[in-house]
Structure 1
C-alpha cells in the first residue's frame, strides 16, 4: 500500500512537470492574442498597478510642483536683485557716456581707439584637420573686409582676418598654433597690465597672455580685453578671464592663462570689427614696437 501511494505521488509529480512544461511552451510561442488565463492575470496586475501608481504619481507630482514653485520664487528674487543692479548700472553708463561725449567735444576729439564699425558675417567652411586654426566666412574685400581686422562673437574676441577674396575671407583663430598670431591685450586692474596673447593650450583650452610685468599679482577671474595699442584692433574688446598666472623661467615676466569668453569650438555667426580710428604705418609700427613685434 505505501508503495502504491509512493508511485502515485511520483506519477502526479511527473504529470505536473509535463503540464508545466506544456504551459511554458504554450506561453512562449508566437501568438497575437493571449489566452484567457494570461489575460486575466494581466488585467488583475494592471488594475493593481493603476491603483498604486496613480496616487503615487499624484503625490510625486504635487511634491515636484511645490519644489519647482519654491525654486521659481527664489530665482525670481535673484532676478529682481539683478534687475535693480542693472538699472543702476544703465544709469551710470548713460551718465558716463554723456560725460565722455562732452569731454570729447571740449577737446575736439573725433575718433577713439575703442570705436569700430561692425560687419556681420557667417562661417561657411571649417576644415576638420585644422579646426582650431582657421574658419572661412562669407564676406570679403567687396564688403569692406581687410586683413588684420579683429573678429568677434557676442562672447568675445575670436581672432583676426588673415586673407580676403572678393566675397570670402579667412579668419585665423586665437587658438591657432601659428606663433605669429598675436594680439595686444590688457588686464583690467589697478593699474592696468599689458601683454600679448600668443599661444593656446589644447589640453586646458586656455589662451596664453605673455610678457606681463613680473612684479604684479593677478587674481583668478580678472578680465582681459584688447588694448588697442597694436594699431589694428579696437580697444576694450573682451577676450576672457584669468585662470592662473605663472612667472617665466627667467623671472623677468609672467604668463597668464586665459579662459576665452567666446566658444572657439562652435562658431556660426561672427562680427568683423572695422576700427574707425586709423593710424599711419609708422605710428602703428611704433605701437607694435612698444608691445612686441606682430601684436595687434
Structure 2
C-alpha cells in the first residue's frame, strides 16, 4: 500500500513537471496571440489590480494635493510679506523724495532771498488749520520764545500768504490774504508796487474777491504804467509788510467805482490750500 502511495506521488510530480514544461513552452517565444487561459488570467489580474489601484491613486493624489496646498500657502505667505515690505519701502521712499524736494526748494528759496534782501526767514510748520469761512487762519509752531511778533509777514516759497495776527508763548496764528477786507478794522491793507517799476507804480490791496479768487488792488492812478502780467510785490510803505515780497500777477485792469482810479485784480502767486510749511519774515532793526 505504501509502495502504491509512493508511486502515486511520483506520478503526480511527473505530471506537474510535464504541465509546467508545456506551459513554459506555450508562454516562451514571440507569439502573435495569447491563449485563452492567458487572456483569462491577464484580464483577471488586471481587473483585480484596477480595484486596488484606483483608490490607492486617489488617496495618494489627495495627500499630494494637501502637500501642494501647504507649499502654496507658504509661498503665498512669503509673497504677502514681500509685497507688504515693498509697499512700506515704496511709501518711505516717496516720503524721503518729498522731503528732499521740500529741502531743495527751501534751500533755493533762502539763496534767492539772500541775494534780494537781508531779511531773516524763520521756517515754521503748520500745526492746525481753521477752515472757518469767516476766520480762515493757520496756527504755526513758533511763538514769542522764538522772537515772533504780531504783524510779521508770512510767506511760502511761492509768495506772500498772510501776516501774524496773534502770538502766544509757543504758537502763533496767521491771518491769510484771503481774509483781507476793507470793511474789517482787524484787517490791514497791503501797500504794493510793480516789480521792475517800483518808483512808478503804486496801489493798495484792500480785499479778496472770493468769486474770482483774486486780490483786489485799489487807489491805482490812471496814469500808472502797470500792465497785465506784471508781478506785484510789497512796497514797504505800509510799515507792516516789508518791501520786495512777491504777491502775485496782474490779471486785469479796469476803472474803479468812481472812475477816478483803476481797480486791478491780482492773482496770488502762493496757494492757500494744503499749506504745510511757511516762512516768517523777520526784518533786521535799523540802528
2:203 counterpart of 1:195: yes
> Is residue 115–residue 277 contact of structure 1 (8 Å, CA) maintained in 2?
no
Unaligned runs of 5+ in 1: 1-89, 98-111, 280-296
Contact 1:233 1:275 in 2 (8 A): no
Aligned-partner SS, 2:202: strand
Q: Which has the higher contact order (CA 8 A, sep 6+)?
A: 1
Alpha-carbon distance in structure 2 between the residues aligned to 1:189 and 1:116: 20
Whole-angstrom distance in 2 between the partners of 1:133 and 1:188: 28
Would the alpha carbon gap of residues 163 and 185 (structure 1) be closer, same or farther in structure 2, given more than 3 Å must change?
A: same
Aligned to 2:88: none
Structure 1 SS opposite 2:132: helix
Separation in structure 2 between the aligned mates of residue 197 and residue 243 of structure 1, nearest angstrom: 14
Q: Does 1:168 align with 2:186?
A: no
Pairing of 1:1-296 with structure 2 (within 5 A): 114-130=117-133, 133-179=136-182, 180-188=187-195, 190=197, 192-278=200-286
SS at match of 1:193: coil
What is the CA–CA distance in structure 2 between the aligned matches of 1:215 and 1:209, rounded to whole Å? 15
Q: Give me the TM-score of the superposition, normalised by structure 2.
A: 0.55
Counterpart CA distance in 1 for 2:118 and 2:282 is 9
Change (3 A) 1:193 1:277: farther
Matched with 2:19 is: none
Mapped partners of 2:272, 2:157: distance in 1: 12
Residues 137 and 169 of structure 1 are in contact (CA less than 8 Å); yes or no, is this contact kept in structure 2?
A: yes
Q: Which residue of 1 aligns with 2:42?
A: none
Return the offset for 1:217: 4.5
Shift of 1:189: 5.1
Query: 1:135, 1:171 within 8 Å by CA — same for their partners in 2?
Result: yes
Distance 2:222 2:133 in 1: 34
> CA RMSD, aligned part only?
2.4
Shift of 1:181: 2.8
Give the distance between the partners of 1:234 and 1:267, measured in 2 at CA. 22
- What is the TM-score normalised by the length of structure 1? 0.53
Please tell me whether the aligned partners of residues 139 and 171 of structure 2 are also in contact (alpha carbons under 8 angstroms). yes
Q: Cα distance, 1:131 vs. partner?
A: 8.0
| Cα offset, 1:277, TM superposition | 4.2
8 A Cα contact 2:181 2:208, kept in partner: no
Structure 1: which 4+ aligned runs deviate by more than 6 Å?
none
Deviating more after overlay: 163-172 vs 123-132: 123-132
Report the secondary structure of 2:233's partner residue: strand
Q: Tell me, yes or no, if the aligned pair for 2:180 and 2:189 is still in contact at 8 Å.
A: no
Find the structure with the greater CA-based Rg. 2
